[in-house]
Structure 1
Amino acid sequence: MHAMQYEVTLPADYDMDVVRARATGKGPLLDDFPGLGLKAYLMRERGVDGSPVNQYAPFYLWNTPEGMNSFLWGPGFQGLVDDFGRPRVRQWTCLSYEEGVAAGSPALVAVRRRQSVPEGVRLSEVMAEAVREAERLATLEGALCAAAVVDPGAWELLHFSLWEHDTPKAPGEVFQVLYVNAPERDRLPGGRQW
Structure 2
Amino acid sequence: MPYLICDHCNGYYELKNGESPEDFDLKCECGGRLEYYANKYDYYKKLKENDIDRNNHQEPADKPENSYNGFLDNLDQQSKGLIGIAVLCIIVFAAILVSGSFSSMGSSSYLDIMPADIQAAKAPVLVVLSAPRCPACRKFDSETMTNPDVKSKLSAYSVMRINVDTDPERAKRFNTHVIPTLVLLDANGKEIRRNEGYMNSAELMNFLKI
TM range (shorter): under 0.3
Which structure has the larger Rg?
2
For CA contacts below 8 A with separation 6 or more, give which structure has more relative contact order: 1
User: Could you state the TM-score of these two structures normalised by the residue count of structure 2?
Assistant: 0.25
More strand as a share of residues = 1
More helix as a share of residues = 2
